[in-house]
Amino acid sequence: MLEKINALFDQAQKAITEASTPPALYEVKVQFLGKSGSLSAILKEMGKLTPDERKTIGKRANEVRDLLEEAFSNRETTLKTSEMNKKLQGERLDVTLPAVPRNSASLHLITKVTQEICDIFARLGFAVRLGPHVEKDFYNFDSLNIPPDHSSRDLQDTFYVNDGVERGPGDLSPWILRTHTSPVQIRTLLTEKPPVRIVSPGGVYRSDSDMSHSPHFHQVEGLLVERNVSMADLKGVLGFFAREFFGPEIKVRLRPSYFPFVEPGAEVDASCPFCKSKGCGMCKGSGWIELAGCGMIHPQVFKQVGVAYPEWNGFAFGMGIERMAVVKYGVPHIGLFYENDLRFLEQYPL
């Protein structure tokens, strides 16, 4: 195994040197150091080793990882500097030309879509509730029936602000950057008596970054707690939202799914607004686009917040705001939301 790690180190160094662009370098990094990369594949075999062998192999693996991380960082700096120099040499600007006036105002598309979503649910009696971005482990996981060994709690999925560091007298619970806006629902149920109808929009954080994911993105989640609520009510609410947001011809369907905090749970699909369900690139030929996750609130969640179940029951749902913007406005990729390019923002005026 030591020979494999050393051989991987040599291969990675060569690949880093040969990478000629930042995207190519990123692919090399994923290949060797990603979650499913070559180094991780080798380390999965450590369970077969003796304790002494694991200590030696683990030490060498950490050394190799640190050296490769440093090599990647240095190579990335070199490539970006080279690209910038080429741009500076190839671009010429006449700074004496008069500036082009920019008089029109516009909202960022994420803000615009957030307001559109909240306005639609407001017509159904949902109020807006906000909450902190740095949350206790209890609000983000425990109160939502997410077990201690759930994969979403792992360091590779969740950003921990402190792990067992005292934040107050006797408070050693972990604090994290919230991974969803569901903690707002818990805080609301702990402070407000049913009936409750709320939506909670805001930024969330997960350790995930590629062409289709960002470590910081936005969600809006909804919660309704009343008497005698059913899945039919849930489908009716989401159907109303889909038709108001995308157009009156839109249809919705529910597919069984699993989420720890709801039972039963479902994925919500909307008929593709681009191709009218005929099949296109946006819906990957299926005619349907995934809209949200939802379900009836799990009895354990009600128990955590002290709401009498089954006297009261309800449903919850959640959707990505960037995804709603991509589907409605045809944004090619999510990177455009974060590049601060005014030309992009001006396409969506007030």
User: What's the whole-number average pLDDT of the chain?
Assistant: 86
Distance between CA atoms of residues 319 and 239, nearest Å: 14
Distance between CA atoms of residues 62 and 78, nearest Å: 24
Question: pLDDT (tens digit, 9 = 90+) per residue, 64-92?
Answer: 888 888 889 998 899 899 888 888 888 77
Q: Which residue has the higher pLDDT, 156 or 26?
A: 26
CATH of domain 109-345: 3.30.930.10
Tell me the average pLDDT across 308-323. 94
Identify the band that residue 163 occupies on the pLDDT scale cut at 50, 70 and 90: low
Residues with Cβ within 8 Å of 99's Cβ and at least 6 positions away in sequence, in order, are none
What is the percent of the chain with per-residue pLDDT over 70, rounded to a whole number?
Answer: 93
Distance between CA atoms of residues 334 and 104, nearest Å: 24
DSSP 183-218: HHHHHHHHHSPSSEEEEEEEEEE-S--BTTB-SEEE
pTM summary value: 0.65
For residue 157, the model assigns a pLDDT of 78
Question: pLDDT (tens digit, 9 = 90+) per residue, 223-235?
Answer: 999 999 999 999 9
Question: pLDDT (tens digit, 9 = 90+) per residue, 187-224?
Answer: 999 999 999 999 999 999 988 766 556 788 999 999 99
| Amino acid, res. 209 | S
